[in-house]
Structure 1
Amino acid sequence: MTYSFTIRTGFAALALAFCVAMVAPAAAQDAPACKTVNMSDPGWIDITATNAVAGVLLDALGYTQNVRMLSVMIGYETLKNRNTDVFLGNWMPAQQKFIEDLDRINAIEVLGTNLVGTQFTLAVPDYVAKAGVKDFRDIAANADKFGKRIYGIEPGAPANITIEKMIAAPSSALKGWTLVESSEQGMLAQVRRAERSGQWIVFLAWSPHPMNEKFALTYLSGGDAYFGPNHGGGSVRTLARTGWAAQCPNAARLFRNLKFDMPMENALIGAILDAHKNPKAAAITWMNAHPDALGPWLAGVTTFDGKPGLPAVKAAVGL
């Protein structure tokens, strides 16, 4: 009798342990080296905003985000050299040529598309468009009014390289033109000065970005051969260095889950630029106003030490 009771008790204990194991969250599978996630920011405010979102989530999950300000060219080199783990700013098709070498040597993995519906091409103020400049072919016809200058962003940016190719093309009507390189904020300051004085200017523009609300601007047609159709319409992808996702499956799951949209990015960018909020503080404020976004982002994601991810993030952002 005692022997039978002991067996039954043993089986009951095993069954209970099995049930607990089935409902308990799986232990994090990420290697110790995964605790720090190295990322890059080319100095673009939209990537600063999305990096901030990722940073808030990583912090709450027990990871450490390390972001370095690197040009696009250097940033891709650090992915190849395994010094950067994740990049949230692979604008496509604008950066297609830039990543072909990395694809050729299998240096990067695409974790997913984090934003759709982008635009990326040349633009002019509305008053210039109303004067007749609505297409790329109209630029050269007004060379004197533009001072034969096209304003771009930081040196080495893929868009600047595209503009340089457009100027240097054998059949180009832009021979003798100059690409003025500075930075995102430097270029926009020049646009602001031109708008105030009514001067003519042609510059690089994209969406999402508050410039589309701050300035009355017109995207130019006719740039399909250089920026793609639909005013450079495209998407933004999340890249990882090859091997990182296999080594860090939990963190990789988070980045695969991260999807953004235009209203969200415009709100975050506006808070950072116009309200001068710290990027992570702006991200936390947005999450508090949109708590439903957290569930899809954290589906199947745990903390670094294996606890449920969603409650940890909610607690960290004050929900």
Structure 2
Amino acid sequence: MKLSTMLVAGLIGLAGNGAMADEQSCATVKMADPGWSDIAATNAITGVLLDGMGYKAKVDTLAVPIAYGGLKDGQVDVFLGNWMPAQQGFYDKFVKTGDVTQYNKNLEGTEFTLAVPDYVWDAGIHDFADLQKQADKFGKKIYGIGSGAPANLSLQEIIKKNEFGLGDWKLVESSEQAMLSEVSRAVKKKAFITFLGWTPHPMNVQLKMHYLTGGEAYFGASGSVYTLTRKGYAQACPNVGKLLTNLSFTQEMENGIMAEVVNKKITNADAAKAYMKANPAVLEKWLDGVKTLDGQDALAAVKAKL
């Protein structure tokens, strides 16, 4: 072999080893979960795929402001729950400034606003402006989710500005599960209650509920969910970056996985695996152009793990 050929071969080998070393440093993917059922489902899908590819998903439960701060500081790699326009304030503070990178749209056609049970709707509560008309029946309370959540911040702004005459109402902040437990108790007694609702979520199947109009300036008429990464992540970890580019979900998919978790009392990971087994075509889309950690075909590897 000529010396020049040997040098070229050596350089290619070194480049390949360097690329492999870079990818090995990406073997653990740090993800955030605000404690929402929908993000638990999409994190589980991603985790199953990463596991089949030889990676490990490390999911930490973090409030939304902490998740954004973690992305900015490099402590979090990926967040699949950038709900827009509900998180516009966080987008402006972190994404628009270039501190956090907004990746692809992973879900569209979402709803995220105040909701009421069917009997409250039948009593004439169809719009934000209708709430004050029967304020005493609601105890002047709006039930939200965890403290610091963007939707809660929007509701606090509505109260602060006395929008829709809600200036003397109180926002009750709690976890998603605690909020829905409060709703369930109210429904059993046919008591008036208004709460944050969104799609996709099992609540849309478990509860007879309706979404109120009027809050579009704060929540949008319809929204989308985007994937976020820490700055430079896709360049540092291009194989996982390619997977994230491919990842998109549907309302039916997420609702189905979440319903399996609730109805069959199984883990999100098991529900995600069951979905993939029943819908193998989605794997071809998600894993197109994606490799395992050691450079093999990801599609074959993930199918083998299922």
Asked if TM exceeds 0.5, the reply is: yes
Q: Which string of whole-angstrom CA distances, capped at 9 and with x for unpartnered residues, describes residues 120-171 of structure 1?
A: 0001111111111111100011110100000000111001111010011055
SS of residue in 2 equivalent to 1:31: helix
Contact 1:30 1:249 in 2 (8 A): no
Superposition deviation, residue 100 in structure 1: 1.1
Q: Which of residues 107, 118, 125 is equivalent to 2:110?
A: 118
TM-score by length of 1: 0.88
Aligned-partner Cα distance in 1 for 2:58–2:75: 11
Work out which of the residue numbers 296, 299, 307 in structure 1 matches 2:296: 307
Alignment partner, residue 60 of structure 2: 68
Kindly indicate whether the alpha-carbon contact (under 8 Å) linking 2:24 and 2:293 is maintained by their aligned counterparts in 1.
no
CA distance in 1, matches of 2:209, 2:40: 23
Corresponding residue of 1:289 = 278
CA contact (8 A) 1:132 1:138 kept: yes
1:249 aligns with 2:238: yes
Letter in 2 for 1:301: V
Cα offsets for 1:236-266 (capped at 9, x unmatched): 0001111110010011000110110011100
Cα RMSD over matched residues? Answer: 1.8
Is the 8 Å Cα contact of residues 153 and 204 (structure 1) preserved in structure 2?
A: yes
Alpha-carbon separation, structure 1, partners of 2:96 and 2:219: 22
C-alpha separation between the residues in 2 aligned to 1:163 and 1:207?
A: 18
Aligned pairs for 1:1-319 within 5 A = 30-170=22-162, 172-229=164-221, 233-317=222-306
3-state SS of 1:254 partner: helix
TM-score, normalised via structure 2 length: 0.92
CA distance in structure 1 between the partners assigned to 2:110 and 2:97 by the alignment:
28
Larger displacement relative to structure 2 (100-109 or 259-268) = 100-109
**How far does residue 110 in structure 1 lie from its aligned partner after superposition?**
1.9
Aligned residue type for 1:296: K
Q: Residues 101 and 135 (structure 1 numbering): CA distance in 2 closer, same or farther, change over 3 Å?
A: same
Q: Deviations over 1:56-105 (max 9, x none)?
A: 00011011111000000101100000000011000011001112111243
Q: Which has the larger radius of gyration?
A: 1
* Letter aligned with residue 258 of structure 1: L
What amino acid does structure 1 have at the position aligned with 2:291?
Answer: T
Distance 2:300 2:232 in 1: 29
Asked if the contact 1:28/1:302 (under 8 Å) is kept, the reply is no
Q: 1:163 to 1:171 in 2, by over 3 A?
A: closer
Q: Which runs of 5+ in 2 are unaligned?
A: 1-18
Counterpart secondary structure, 2:186: helix
Distance 2:48 2:236 in 1: 22
1:119–1:206 contact (8 Å) kept in structure 2: yes
Is the 8 Å Cα contact of residues 29 and 56 (structure 2) preserved in structure 1? yes
SS at match of 1:155: coil
Counterpart Cα distance in 2 of 1:191 and 1:275: 22
CA distance in 1 between partners of 2:187 and 2:255 (Å): 22
SS in 2 for 1:112: strand
SS of aligned partner of 1:142: helix
